[in-house]
Structure formats: C-alpha cells, structure tokens
Structure 1
Amino acid sequence: MSNDWRSETIETVRTLITTAEPDMAEEAKWRKASNPDGVPTFSCDGLVCTAETYKDKVKLTFAKGASLDDPAGLFNASLDAGTRRAIDLFEGDSLDEDAFVALIKDAVARNRA
C-alpha cells in the first residue's frame, strides 16, 4: 500500500489500539494477490477488530461490536449485522480518539469476561 491517507489512518489507529491495550497482539491475515500485506487484525483474549483498507475508505470492524456501548456514535457501518459493527473512515474524516480508545477497552473487557 502506498503511503497515503489510508496508511496514515491505519498507523494512527494502530497507535490508539496499542495505547488502549498494551497486551494487544497484531497479525496480518487473509493475504492474497490483491492485498499482499493482508489485513491487520488485533486480538487480546480473542479477536477485537480488523483494519481493512479500500480504495475510498479504511474500515475498522469490531468482532463483537453489536454488544459494545457506543455513546459517541462511532459505528457507522455493518449496523444491521448480528454481531459485528464497523467504523468507515473516508479521506478527511476525523476519528474521536478518546471514544475509539474506550471502544477498544470495552471490547477487550468483554473478551476477558
């Protein structure tokens, strides 16, 4: 992936995730010809979220997002999914970093429950 707004967004998100939970493990999954770097996945006592890049957005999908409190309304995609929820970020979007960190902490706490 070229160094553009999407890779910068992924780096910002990666920093927020590891700040929220220092024990978070990151690995690349689902490598394929169209995405040789794979999809960054973040786990701590179970899958927490994935960070996929698309041509027009970065999609942050929370494995158990439907069960998380989202008072800031960050989830804006996969809202009809049974278990997961996602945040789609487009070029120029800003992410409420405090609310995102709270989501990560809540997701890890639910994995540990």
Structure 2
Amino acid sequence: MAKAESQATSPSKLIDARIKELGDWRGQMLARVRAIIKAADPDVVETWKWRGVPVWEHDGIICTGETYKKVVKLTFAKGAALKDPAKLFNASLEGNTRRAIDIDEGSEIDEKALAALIRAAVALNKSKG
C-alpha cells in the first residue's frame, strides 16, 4: 500500500485505493460495508490509521475495516457496549470493549442491522463525548 499512500493524500482516497488494490471479493465487500456506514451516518469521517487500516469515526472511532486473506473484519471500538439483536458480532467476543464482525467470502450482510449498529455506535460516542 506504500505506493497508494504516497500517491493519495486524503483518507478517502487511500480507502478507494485499497478497494481497487484488493481487486477481489474483499474489495467489493469493503466497498459495500463502507457504503452502508456512510448511508447510516452521513457525517461519518473516514480516517486511515495504523499503516493501512480504514477507520470510520464520529465523535470517536465507530469501527475499522481490516482485510485479511479469508475475511473482511469490522471491529467496533466500543462494540461490547452495543446491543446486537441481530447477532452480527461473531469475533472478538471475549473482550470487555471491542467486538468484531468477520465477513467471509459469499456471506450475506444484514444491511439494516449493520446500519442500526453503526447508528448505535455513533449515539454511544456522542453520549460519552
């Protein structure tokens, strides 16, 4: 990603470059969850941290979007404090703070439930701000 990082200046352009660079289902999934996040919170701020991790923030971190060989992982910074009636969280369940959603190739996303989780994370961030 060093090439893309040097050519692109804004975090949004870096995320665009990551999606394009992946060129497979992971890029498509990252683009899809990004669209859901932006639709759920039009005031979301995209950042780029930890040498290549897309991060979505609103009054603090909402979630990160990491890509691995077999999963796209959405890690919610304060996920343990969020209600998850649709049971989207399926990873990092042991900790007291974070929760994650691992999305495998071919997995379906419950867009309504994910949008509700994003809005709940924003509300939590605002309430603690």
Q: TM-score range by the shorter chain?
A: over 0.9
1:53 maps to 67
1:5 maps to 25
Amino acid at match of 1:59: K
Runs ≥4 residues deviating over 3 A: none
1:92 maps to 106
Q: Deviations over 1:23-59 (max 9, x none)?
A: 100011111xxxxxx1100000001000000001000
TM (normalized to structure 2)? 0.81
Q: Alignment RMSD, CA only?
A: 0.6
Aligned ranges for residues 1-80 of structure 1 at < 5 Å? 1-31=21-51, 38-80=52-94
Question: Which structure is richer in relative contact order (CA contacts within 8 A, separation 6 or more)?
Answer: 1
Amino acid at match of 1:84: R
In the TM superposition, what is the alpha-carbon distance from 1:2 to its structure 2 partner? 2.6
> Percent identity among equivalent residues?
57
Aligned residues: 107
TM (normalized to structure 1)? 0.93
Unaligned runs of 5+ in 2: 1-20
Cα distance between partner residues in 2 of 1:63 and 1:72: 18
